[in-house]
Amino acid sequence: EGQVVESGGGLVQPGRSLRLSCAASGFTFGDHAMYWIRQAPGKGLEWVSGISWNSGSIGYADSVKGRFTISRDNAKNSLYLQMNSLRIEDTALYYCAKGGTDYGDYTFKSWGQGTLVTVSS
């Protein structure tokens, strides 16, 4: 199944930016779609963004469209999420998740432990 490890979270003021990273190991990263999913404290799960194996297909939740940008570097086995214009409601634990080879199949096969983003003044 492999492993993914998120990093880059922290405390940030509203309107500022943050970049999350996800380092993958133990599987052929370049073969798989990858996703970001978040969970606000005490709340449920919300899909944030996804990217196909070759970056040819990318999608965003309406709540982050225009503010967040997903990218990947297959040579570095890494996934990224650039978060701009952060809002208080973006406060959450952000999970990186491995998908299948088909971008359209949003089955999240394995997850990292998450990185916490807190947006507060």
Partner 1 sequence: DIQMTQSPSSLSASVGDRVTITCRASQSISFFLNWYQQRPGKAPKLLIYAASSLQSGVPSRFSGSGSGTDFTLTISSLQPEDFATYFCQHTYSRRFGPGTKLEI
Q: Which of 25, 28, 55, 113 lies at the binding interface for partner 1 (CB under 8 A)?
A: 113
- Residue from 32, 9, 31, 29 nearest 19 by CA: 9
- Token look-up 């998740």 returns 97
Q: Nearer Cβ to partner 1, position 46 or 91?
A: 46
Shortest reach from residue 72's CB to partner 1, in Å: 18
Q: Does 94 bind partner 1 (CB under 8 A)?
A: no
How many CB atoms within 10 Å of residue 54?
12
- Residues 6 or more apart from 76 whose CB is under 8 A from it? none
Taking the alpha carbons of 96, 1, 104, 44 in that order, is the dihedral positive or negative? negative
Stretch that binds partner 1, among 11-19, 22-30, 79-87, 108-116 (CB under 8 A): 108-116
Q: Is 68 a binder of partner 1 (CB under 8 A)?
A: no
Residues that bind partner 1 (CB under 8 A): 1, 44-47, 50, 61, 95, 104-114
